[in-house]
Amino acid sequence: MHFNTIKYIALLLVLIFFISLTGCKKSIQQKIIGKWEMVSYDGSEPSFTYEFMDGDQLNRYWKYKLPNGDDTTILDTAFYYIEVKNFRKNIRITKAEAFLSVDINGLWWIDNLESSLMELQRIETPDLEGGAYLRYEFIKK
């Protein structure tokens, strides 16, 4: 084969690789859009629902009972971005308010994403310091 032919084949393969990464981000975003209820291991209140909107908005609903027994809901609006790093699918969450002293801002690895199940593990905090580990599981509503 001529050197030019090899060069064109290599260029084509690189181009196909980068196009597939772009498609991967869109595919992940399409799967993640919707309402996801956080799984509680002990079934206790409060309950959290994450709503990933088309675009980059993330609405978080915190539902709990007041001392008088009435239900109330707090809404927090944050932002999310899909990132693919080293072939790992990630979500970066920004501008979220802390609930119950838990700050969810940072980079989250998408450990599992199926049609009705999502598992996220935080791998990086916004300040890039320790204490990043946090893991959540969700079921799609």
Helix, coil or strand: residue 29: helix
Residue 119 binned pLDDT confidence (cut-offs 50, 70, 90): very high
Highest averaged pLDDT of the listed ranges 61-65, 67-71, 94-98, 100-104: 94-98
Q: Kindly provide the b/e burial profile for residues 74-97, where b requires at least 16 CB atoms within 10 angstroms of the residue's own CB.
A: eebebebebeeeeeebbbbbeebe
Q: Give the model confidence (pLDDT) of 2-57 as tens digits.
A: 667 777 777 766 656 555 544 456 688 899 999 999 997 766 666 899 999 998 99
pLDDT of residue 21: 47
CB hemisphere CA count around 116 (13 angstroms): 1
User: What CATH number is given to the structural domain containing 19?
Assistant: 2.40.128
Instruction: For residue 81, give both structure tokens.
Output: 């971005």
Helix, coil or strand: residue 112: strand
Give percent above pLDDT 90 in the chain.
50
31, 60, 112, 113 from 117: Cα distances, Å: 10, 17, 7, 6
Does the pLDDT of residue 104 top 60, yes or no?
A: yes
pLDDT of residue 112: 95
Which domain, by its residues, includes 68? Answer: 3-140
Average pLDDT over every residue of 104-123: 94
**Considering its fold, how many domains does the chain have in total?**
1
Does the pLDDT of residue 101 top 60, yes or no?
A: yes
Instruction: For residue 74, give both structure tokens.
Output: 């707090």
